[in-house]
Structure 1
């Protein structure tokens, strides 16, 4: 069984022009980092011309599709009947994207199948890391 889930999504960039540009993005969930979700944007979709990836909690994404969530660099909120807005706050400014809520729900369901919510601690490898630290101490 794979320990990583990746799912392509279409994100609509919100900008000052009337029409929103659609850009590809990839959602990623890794069982080895069970609390986090990553959303990556390819080089053509970024101002820097390099891939940009944001990491935020899986719980934030799950909460944000139901009601506004987040106070920090990443905020998530429902928008209308079938969209969710993700806001990415950086020193350079704020990027806002709309993603179909159904795509986010499908991704979260797949992640839930890999690591059920509330069981993330079982996949942190604490015992292995502690054993490696103690082994290196001798």
Structure 2
């Protein structure tokens, strides 16, 4: 039985300027119960929103389409708040846009591909609808 939850912690560079970056740990998560989405969790202390910066271990989570991440490894992709694109070397850039500002992160492309490979073992591409709980989704939508 494939895993219902795929989790992987990776390192990312938070680009602060053309000459400075901060190394941070990012939690990648994929849940078979939410088969179209991936989640990226970042330490809350890096949030621009002061209210979000809770205690130690707190995270800020961004949720976006698994397909966006997959496409962005090879081609610039994204609309709205999340953009993903290949970068020089074996890197992938993820740009997160919020009302408080923009965060630009550089990931090792191989780590993101490994995470996606495991997510496809949990729910193969094209089988997402087989894992959607329509009643739960409707309740969330109306809820």
Q: TM-score, normalised by structure 2?
A: 0.85
Q: 5 Å matches for 1:1-138?
A: 1=1, 2-16=3-17, 18-47=19-48, 48=50, 49-50=53-54, 51-126=59-134, 129=135
Structure 1: gaps (5+ residues): 134-138
| 1:51-87 deviation per Cα after TM superposition (whole angstroms, max 9, x unaligned) | 2110000000000000100021000000012100000
**Separation in structure 2 between the aligned mates of residue 53 and residue 6 of structure 1, nearest angstrom:** 13
Root mean square deviation of aligned Cα: 1.6
- How far does residue 17 in structure 1 lie from its aligned partner after superposition? 5.9
**Separation in structure 2 between the aligned mates of residue 120 and residue 27 of structure 1, nearest angstrom:** 18
**Separation in structure 1 between the aligned mates of residue 95 and residue 18 of structure 2, nearest angstrom:** 17
- How far does residue 19 in structure 1 lie from its aligned partner after superposition? 2.2
**Separation in structure 1 between the aligned mates of residue 44 and residue 69 of structure 2, nearest angstrom:** 24
User: Which is bigger in relative contact order (C-alpha 8 A, separation at least 6)?
Assistant: 2
**Separation in structure 2 between the aligned mates of residue 86 and residue 42 of structure 1, nearest angstrom:** 16
SS in 2 for 1:60: helix
- How far does residue 18 in structure 1 lie from its aligned partner after superposition? 1.3
Q: Whose radius of gyration is greater, 1 or 2?
A: 1
**Separation in structure 1 between the aligned mates of residue 46 and residue 4 of structure 2, nearest angstrom:** 27
Structure 2: gaps (5+ residues): none
SS in 1 for 2:115: helix
**Separation in structure 2 between the aligned mates of residue 103 and residue 95 of structure 1, nearest angstrom:** 19
Q: TM-score, normalised by structure 1?
A: 0.88
